[in-house]
Structure 1
């Protein structure tokens, strides 16, 4: 299936490892010109080299923190000047700190808001004017299972992942009101996924990864490539009628009806 991404420009935040890297690789394999950002210059160089082997189009990397609003805006503008677009934007960030609701202080909530919610707002605000001018855009927000149901011990994620969904749903309505149906906005909600971060966390738990899989109906973790493939489809021309969706990639772990 031709997803129509050849010649498109895609930005992937926190695209140097785990789910972000898998999304970037999937987009590159479909012919998109990909620009990724990450905090570590070393990991950024490694990621660019990997992504470059996946597709025919140029790959670009920018060393920045997604909570640095000015740096994010410069990344978007610089990519637009160099490659055009962006046509596809994937708002992604690391996970906020673990902890229960009462065990965390107000500064912890502020830090998580910057990382999980406001980084997504900043990136979308910088990118949407370019999408509007192009008449085509795919805005994707990567959250987690906690956007659909609370996860014990992850109060910050439970608080701010749903807030990202609320922001995304608001954008959908505003774009529709402006007659900009060529720009879609969707949320991807991965469950337990085989990333380096999750594997390190699982080692600290009784039962390890096998214990985590007991609550997943398919009996295994999701692979990052499966999340990447979902993102590539939602970013495609084929998915033009999908907007405002929260798409789980969780092996059936979500218990809700919607």
Structure 2
């Protein structure tokens, strides 16, 4: 098993920098797939209320027999529940079957609702309990962070954003890091679109690695938390092995140069879906 690096958040807690995401994993398959991920060696699992598979994640954790303190579990607040975040958090915690959640995120800002600052204040109160170890945001752009921080008592520990070689969101990532907010990448492979980039395939041949391993190693080299997903146990293990690949400065720069503004997900400036 590759040794996954640990990253320390701004409140002092640590998490495995390479985790496992369950976005679009069907609820009926989630327990099996997460059990396989845990067996492969993942100890950081990322889910969300909107994925409707929290219960499957919880069942896999219970079935694994792993000590709770060895696991790092993230879930997220649905957009349509920003007005009742404490209740939504409790629903997620109970669906997971956990006494506490390691990280709870506001899933999207949905600026048209005008509720994300109120939701953050509610999360701060939840953070004051012993039921969540860290709170953060997802899909927050620079202006959303400015508005949030203007009235915040707690700086988010994490901002989970779409980030991959052809869509790096350098401005958002730089702002987060300057504020002590860890950057977490979802769609880290560009939903597969970045795997055939010349710089990636060249490094994969040179390192006798898969293109996915090269991209994940690039994320790790930048200090980014990364949560690839796969339904294949073999691919799960391959992705986890990216932790053993070390890229040099020139290698990193060759992948940095792939930036092309290729967003594959929604735009946080305008996204309005309720997720209910």
TM-score range, shorter chain: 0.3 to 0.5
Provide TM-score, normalisation by structure 1: 0.39
Provide TM-score, normalisation by structure 2: 0.37
